[in-house]
Amino acid sequence: MLYSAGFEFEYALVTESPDVGAGSFRYLGTFHDFVDLDFDTLQRALADGSGTTDEDLVRGDLGIKSGYWYLEGDERFDADGTFTSMLVKGVEIRTPVCSSTTDAADRLIDLQDDISKRLAHLGLHLGIVGFNPIREAYVLDPPLNEWERRMRAEHREYDHAEVSNLSYGPDINLSFPGLSAEQVVEVTRRLTYYSPFMVPFSFSSPFHAGRAWRGPSKRTYERTWRRVAARCFVTPPAGAEPSMVHLPRIPREEGRIEFKAYDAFLSRDLLLAGAALTLGVCLADDLPELADKPSRDLHQRSATDAFADPEIAAGARDVLAAARRALAGMPEAGHLDCLDQLLSAGRTPADSLLDEYSRTGLMYLPEGLR
């Protein structure tokens, strides 16, 4: 099966140094966000990066998303609608369109290395976690002015900034030549239905407000019912859910399917496994259920109990088996093996983060994807 793939991956920004005193190893790490990250300084450091001439990239109208990496955060405007700054949560890397998920992962790692060198001049490093581990809440300071309130009412991508500016995760982008608009929408609806059984394999947000949270994914608990689990870019068929189906912004975007519900993966292998699971669900002809909006109940049960919930565990087994059948004979099938291991052990990646936290004191994975 021919397909195209690309990844978008959100990273936190951290400073870190090892502390090997007192006979034990711990990191002295600081998690940075919209409270202390300066937009102008970071924008200058990351300017003129690679990808600025790639015509397959969707570009924002503010000049921030101009290449393969850019700052992520909440944009602010003055009373006349002039952009003033961004409350930065971190950086995002997006790959060019690739011929396989493996190629996309390789490009992501290359780009990660490039941006890491630029950030090092500011004393910053890339960290990975699914949800801001130190903030109790995201509060807009200053509050929205009247122009901003009107603009956000018209542009739904600004909805729920109180969640999106605290969360980190990848977008798995896939497209399949020859699918009709109706078929693309059907695949997107399938991903939406099966999302709560897919996402535990990515969980990486077991912290909140400076301490361990009550489950493995604070991100999923807060996000994946307020915002879409998946979306696509085609001319909307009659009756299509408007939050899920969008008109393509550039020709290359036609037919793109974007799965957005995963937490931030903690390794290249897990990213490839999650991408293979997404690819397999897209191709599966024996997963009949469809949904227009993600289930709040199932996602929140998944977020708090993961595979300890019998329904979530059974659903995860079903989607993993269906994905393996759909990928039979494709090299991507081998990427699913580490998900079998997680499910058999009843563990999510959040358990590894908690294990490391007990040893190092860090509530995130340092040094980016490995």
- State the CB neighbour count (10 A cutoff) for residue 297: 9
* Under 8 Å between Cβ of 29 and 125: no
pLDDT tens string, the chain, 370 residues long: the values are: 899 999 999 999 999 766 655 555 555 689 999 999 999 999 999 998 889 888 888 877 677 788 999 999 999 999 999 999 999 999 999 999 999 999 999 999 999 999 999 999 999 999 999 999 999 999 988 899 999 999 999 887 888 999 999 999 999 999 999 999 999 999 999 999 999 999 999 999 999 999 999 999 999 999 999 999 999 999 999 989 999 999 999 999 999 999 999 999 999 999 999 999 999 999 999 999 999 999 999 999 999 999 999 999 999 999 999 999 999 999 999 999 999 999 999 999 999 999 999 999 999 999 899 8
Residue of 168, 175, 35 whose CA lies nearest to 100:
175
The answer to whether the CB of 263 falls within 8 A of the CB of 203 is yes
Record the tokens describing residue 214, joined without a space: 């009550």
What pLDDT does residue 16 have? 79
pLDDT at 23: 52
The overall longest dimension of the chain from CA atoms, in Å, is 66
Q: What is the pLDDT of residues 61-90, one digit of tens each?
A: 677 788 999 999 999 999 999 999 999 999
Two tokens, residue 161: 């900034």
* C-alpha 269, offset from chain centre: 16
The C-alpha atoms of residue 96 and residue 104 are separated, in whole angstroms, by 8
pLDDT at 49: 87
pLDDT (tens digit per residue) in 103-140: 999 999 999 999 999 999 999 999 999 999 999 999 98
Token code pair at residue 178: 């020859």
CB 331 within 8 A of CB 284: no
What is the H or E stretch that residue 43 is in? helix 39-46
Cα gap 82→59, rounded to integer Å: 18
How high is the pLDDT of residue 200? 98
pLDDT at 55: 81
**Which residue type occupies 77?**
F
- What letter represents residue 357's amino acid? Y
Q: Are 326 and 283 in contact (CB under 8 A)?
A: yes
Q: Annotate 5-28 with b (16+ C-beta within 10 A) or e (fewer).
A: bbbbbbbbbbebeeeeeeeeeebe
